[in-house]
Amino acid sequence: MRLTPDAWIFWQYGFISLNATIVFTWVLMAVLVLGGALITRRLTTSHERSRWQNLLEIVVTTIMSQIKDVGLKNPHHYLAFLGTLFLFVAIAALATVLPGYEPPTASLSTTAALALSVLVAVPLFGISSQGLMGYLKSYLQPTPIMLPFNLISEVSRTMALAVRLFGNMMSGAMIIAILLSITPFFFPIVMTLLGLLTGMVQAYIFTILAAVYIAAATRSSKAVKVPSPAPAA
Amino acid sequence: MLIDWFTVGAQLLNFIVLVWLMKRFLYQPVLNAIAAREQKIAATLADAATTEAEARRQQREFEQKNQAFEQQRADLLQQATKAATAEGERLRAEAARVADKASAMRAKALATDTEHLHAEIVRRTQQQVFAIARQVLDDLAGASLEQRVCEVFVQRLQAADDEALSALGKALRDTSEATPALLRSAFELPAAQQTAIQAAMDETAGQTIALKFETEPDLVAGIEISAQGQKLAWSIEDYLSALSSAPHTAHESDATVAA
For residues B198 and B205, what is the distance between their CA atoms, to the nearest angstrom?
10
Q: Is residue A228 domain-resident?
A: no
Nearest to A60 among B2, B31, B37 (CB): B31
Omega cis (within 30) before A227: no
The 10s digit of each residue's pLDDT in B78-111 is: 999 999 999 999 999 999 999 999 999 999 999 9
- Residue A227: the pLDDT is 45
Interface predicted TM-score (ipTM): 0.88
Q: Is residue A233 domain-resident?
A: no
Residue of B26, B28, B34 to mutate for A, most A C-beta atoms under 10 A: B26
Contacts of A81 in chain B (CB under 8 A): 19
Nearest to B25 among A25, A26, A36 (CB): A36
Q: How far is CA A132 from CA A28, A73, A81, A124, B74, in A?
A: 35, 20, 21, 9, 82
For chain B, strand residue ranges (E) read 181-185, 211-215, 223-227, 230-234
Confidence of residue B134 (pLDDT cuts 50, 70, 90): low
* CB burial string B16-32: b at 16+ within 10 A, e below: eebbebbbebbbebbbe
Percent of chain A with pLDDT over 70: 94
Averaged pLDDT, B226-247: 66
Secondary structure letter of residue A131 according to DSSP: -
Confidence of residue A34 (pLDDT cuts 50, 70, 90): very high
Averaged pLDDT, B228-251: 61
DSSP B41-93: HHHHHHHHHHHHHHHHHHHHHHHHHHHHHHHHHHHHHHHHHHHHHHHHHHHHH
Secondary structure letter of residue A14 according to DSSP: T
C-beta neighbour count of B217 within 10 angstroms: 10
- Residue A200: the pLDDT is 92
Averaged pLDDT, A143-161: 89
For residues A60 and B116, what is the distance between their CA atoms, to the nearest angstrom?
124
Sign of torsion over alpha carbons B85, B89, B94, B96: positive
Q: Is residue A92 domain-resident?
A: yes
Order of strands, edge to edge, in the sheet holding B211-215?
B211-215, B181-185, B223-227, B230-234
The answer to whether A18 and B19 are in contact (CB under 8 A) is no
- Residue B251: the pLDDT is 45
The 10s digit of each residue's pLDDT in A36-82 is: 999 888 888 877 888 988 999 999 999 999 999 998 888 999 999 99
Contacts of B44 in chain A (CB under 8 A): none
Query: Which residues, in sequence order, are bridge partners of residue A11?
Result: A18
Q: Is residue A225 domain-resident?
A: no
- Residue B237: the pLDDT is 62
Measure the N-to-C terminal CA separation of chain A; round to a whole number of Å.
69
| Average pLDDT of every residue of chain A | 86
Nearest to B4 among A6, A76, A114 (CB): A6
Q: How many CB pairs under 8 A join A and B?
A: 124
Secondary structure letter of residue A8 according to DSSP: -
The 10s digit of each residue's pLDDT in B191-209 is: 888 888 888 878 877 778 8
Domain, as residue range, for A170: 5-219
Secondary structure letter of residue B224 according to DSSP: E
Contacts of B12 in chain A (CB under 8 A): 113, 116-117
Whats the size of chain B, residue-wise?
259
* β-strand pairing of B181-185 with A9-13: unpaired
Nearest to A109 among B7, B22, B27 (CB): B7
Helix, strand, coil percentages for chain B (3-state, nearest 5): 80, 10, 15
Could you give the number of structural domains in chain A? 1
User: Radius of gyration of chain A from Cα atoms?
Assistant: 21
Q: Is B243 helix (H, G, I), strand (E, B) or coil?
A: helix
- Per-window interface: A 73-92 vs B, CB < 8 A: 76, 79-81, 83-84, 87-88
The 10s digit of each residue's pLDDT in A201-214 is: 999 999 999 999 99
Q: Is B185 helix (H, G, I), strand (E, B) or coil?
A: strand
**Which residue is closest to A4 within chain B, CA to CA?**
B2
What's phi and psi for B232, nearest 5 deg? -135, 130
Cα–Cα nearest to B173, from B228, B232, B233: B228
B228 has pLDDT over 80: no
Contacts of B26 in chain A (CB under 8 A): 32-33, 36-37, 40, 56, 60
Interchain contact, A22 vs B21, CB within 8 Å? no
Between A88 and A231, whose confidence is greater? A88
A231 has pLDDT over 60: no
Secondary structure letter of residue B144 according to DSSP: -
Query: Which residues, in sequence order, are bridge partners of residue B104?
Result: none
- Residue B116: the pLDDT is 92
